[in-house]
Amino acid sequence: TAVNLAAGVDRVLPFAGKGADAVAAEAQALLDEDVRGNRAIGVHGAAWILDRAGDRPLRVLTHCNAGALATAGWGTALGVVRELHRRGRVELVYADETRPLLQGARLTAWELDQAGIPCVVQADGAAPSTILRGLADVAVIGADRIAANGDTANKIGSVGVALACHAAGIPLVVAAPWSTVDLALPDGTGIPIEERPAEEVLTWGGVRTAPDRVDAYNPAFDVTPARLVTALVTETGVLEVSAGTTPGGVRG
């Protein structure tokens, strides 16, 4: 489903025949570009959100991990949160636990805590209710692949967040580098969805939690329709996707 790691490998691979130093130099250049891009995403995303938020402190919801541990050292979705925090505008971050591997609880919450950003971990199933009860002002998520029309693949559970944001009238902001956009895909129906091992759902701490004869359906990602994506933030700026400004329309 994800494209960025493969794109990075494809970029560095041609240097393999030039020796280890050449490979390391290109990898370092790629890392430096990623951090610069992530910081730009943070600035663009925070500015867009604050232009619409007034002066109130913000309650931000995020899903899965799109921070320093998932990138070269800053983060996409968490890069936006970091920038909002730097400007003194974060009241609280809701970090969805992100079942079944708990990237939100294990990684995102750790990053937020290390950065001194107030946060709570919540069950994935609580996220739509949190939004619909008016407890969140904006949701900021990352992306693993984005189609030309703005359909966005992200960690399973993102669609529920998007639907709740749409119903509550709050922005869903997708933060990702332009390299995540796959202009060869007209829409999200062509995005392959990885299915993970059943054991991730059927067991907990090595102990089976479901009946022996019951199997599991464990998709790792879902695809949020473009009409639910309020804004796509990349290192070059912001596209208001649900209003009709799509990646394909800009670069197509």
Least confident of 67-76, 98-107, 169-178, 179-188: 67-76
Cα gap 194→223, rounded to integer Å: 12
CB neighbours (10 Å) of residue 50?
Answer: 15
Among 144, 151, 182, 222, the one annotated catalytic: 144
**Residue 45: its pLDDT value, please?**
99
Parent domain of 152: 3-251
- Whether 1 has a pLDDT exceeding 60, the answer reads no
Contact 77, 139 (CB under 8 A): no
**Alpha carbons within 13 A on the beta-carbon side of 42:** 23
**Residue 252: its pLDDT value, please?**
45
Q: Is 144 a catalytic residue?
A: yes
Least confident of 19-28, 55-64, 222-231: 19-28
Contact 136, 95 (CB under 8 A): no
Contact 81, 62 (CB under 8 A): yes
**Residue 102: its pLDDT value, please?**
98
Q: How buried is residue 51: exposed, middle or buried, by Cβ count under 10 Å (0-12/13-18/19+)?
A: exposed
Of 63, 44, 28, nearest to 177 by C-alpha is 44
Look up tokens 């290192």; give the residue.
235
Plot region of 241 (φ>0 → left; ψ -120 to 50 → alpha; else → beta): alpha
Which of residues 221 and 74 earns the better pLDDT score? Answer: 221
Q: Please give the order of strands across the beta sheet that includes 237-239.
A: 119-122, 90-96, 58-62, 138-141, 172-175, 231-234, 237-239
Least confident of 48-52, 66-70, 71-75, 133-137: 71-75
Query: Per the structure block, which two tokens stand in for 21?
Result: 């130093």
With cut-offs at 50, 70 and 90, classify the pLDDT of residue 63: very high
- Whether 12 has a pLDDT exceeding 90, the answer reads no
What amino acid is encoded at 136 in this protein?
Answer: A
Which pTM does this prediction carry?
A: 0.92
Total of domains in the chain? 1
Cα gap 209→196, rounded to integer Å: 17
Query: Per the structure block, which two tokens stand in for 240?
Result: 């208001």
170: CATH = 3.40.50.10470
| Alpha-carbon dihedral sign for residues 106, 112, 115, 116 | negative
Average pLDDT over residues 187-212: 97
Residue 224 to residues 48, 90, 117, 145, 229, Cα–Cα distance (Å): 21, 26, 27, 11, 7
Contact 145, 125 (CB under 8 A): no
Contact 66, 175 (CB under 8 A): yes
